[in-house]
Amino acid sequence: MTAETRPQDTSPRTPAAAWQRLRDGNARFVAGESEHPNQDASRRQSVAAGQDPFAVIFGCSDSRLAAEIIFDLGLGDAFVVRTAGQVIDDAVLGSIEYAVANLGTPLVMVLGHDSCGAVSATHGTAQSGDMPRGFQRDLIERILPSVLEARRSGGTDVNSAVVEHTKQTASRLLEQSRIINEAVSRGEVAVIGVFYHLEDGQAELVHGHGTWLPSR
C-alpha cells in the first residue's frame, strides 16, 4: 500500500494529544453534549482526497459500541477496525499496521465493553466445556486464554474477563507486529486498552504501552 494524500487538518499528532481528544469527546457524549464535529459537507469534501486519522480504534463489533458516536468524532478522525470480542487475526494486524505505518496515526486503542457477548460465550464454554459450531469456535478459542487468566486472578464475572481480554489484546498487538512494536518503542505511537461502560457511556482506561502513558 502507498501513503495517501492527507487533507489539511488539525488532527492531534502525538499519543497524548490524541488520547485527550478522545477523552474530551467521550466526556461530551456522557454529558449529553455531543458536538458531532466534522460531519458536514465541508468536512466530507476535505477528506475525499485522503485521510489523516489521529486514532486507530480496534473494538468489538457490538452494535452498542459505535466508536465515532461514543467519542464524538466525525469523518476522517478515526481508523476503525471491529471484530466480535475484538479478536485479532491477520487482517486486523494488517489494517492497524497500515494506519500506523502509512497514515502516521499516533494512538491505537483496543476497546472492550461490559456484558460482551463473545466473552460471555467464552466464559460459558470455560464452565461447560461445550464449544460452539462453525467459525464462532475460532472466536472462543482466541478469547479463552483471557477468561482463564481472569479466573486464575480471582475474577469470576464476565466483566473481569473482558478487562483481562482487553489488556491481553493490547499486549498481543505489540507481540505479533514488529511495525507496531517499533513505532511504540520510538515513542511515536501508544497502544492503550479501554473498557466501555454501556449504561453510563464512560470509557475507562485500563492498560497502556508506550514511552508516553496517559493519566486516567
Q: What is the per-residue pLDDT across 84-121, written as a single tens digit (0 to 9) for each?
A: 999 999 999 999 999 999 999 999 999 999 999 999 99
The predicted structure's pLDDT at residue 214: 64
CA distance 81 to 102: 16
For residue 216, is pLDDT > 80? Answer: no
Residue 113 has which C-alpha cell? 465493553
Q: Which DSSP string corresponds to 142-157? A: HHHHHHHHHHHTT--S
Around Cβ 135, how many Cβ atoms within 10 Å?
7
The predicted structure's pLDDT at residue 7: 46
pTM, rounded to two decimals:
0.92
User: Considering the chain, what percentage of its residues have pLDDT values greater than 90?
Assistant: 81
**Average pLDDT value over all residues in the chain:** 92
Query: Helix, strand, or coil here: 109?
Result: strand
Whether the CB-CB separation of 80 and 68 falls below 8 Å is answered with yes
Q: Which DSSP string corresponds to 156-176? A: -SHHHHHHHHHHHHHHHHHHH
pLDDT average, residue stretch 157-167: 94
Q: Name the band, by pLDDT with cuts 50, 70 and 90, for residue 26.
A: very high
**Using CA of residue 50, residue 54, residue 57, residue 63, what is the dihedral sign?**
negative
pLDDT average, residue stretch 120-146: 89
The predicted structure's pLDDT at residue 10: 72
Domain ranges of the chain: 15-209
> CB within 8 A of 45, min separation 6: which ones?
none
pLDDT average, residue stretch 38-60: 95
CATH architecture of 15-209: 3-Layer(aba) Sandwich (3.40)
CA distance 155 to 59: 22
Whether the CB-CB separation of 147 and 126 falls below 8 Å is answered with yes
Q: Which residue did the predictor score with more confidence, 77 or 216?
A: 77
For residue 142, is pLDDT > 60? Answer: yes
Q: What is the dihedral of CA 43, 54, 204, 96, to 10 degrees?
A: 120
CA distance 213 to 95: 23
The predicted structure's pLDDT at residue 4: 54
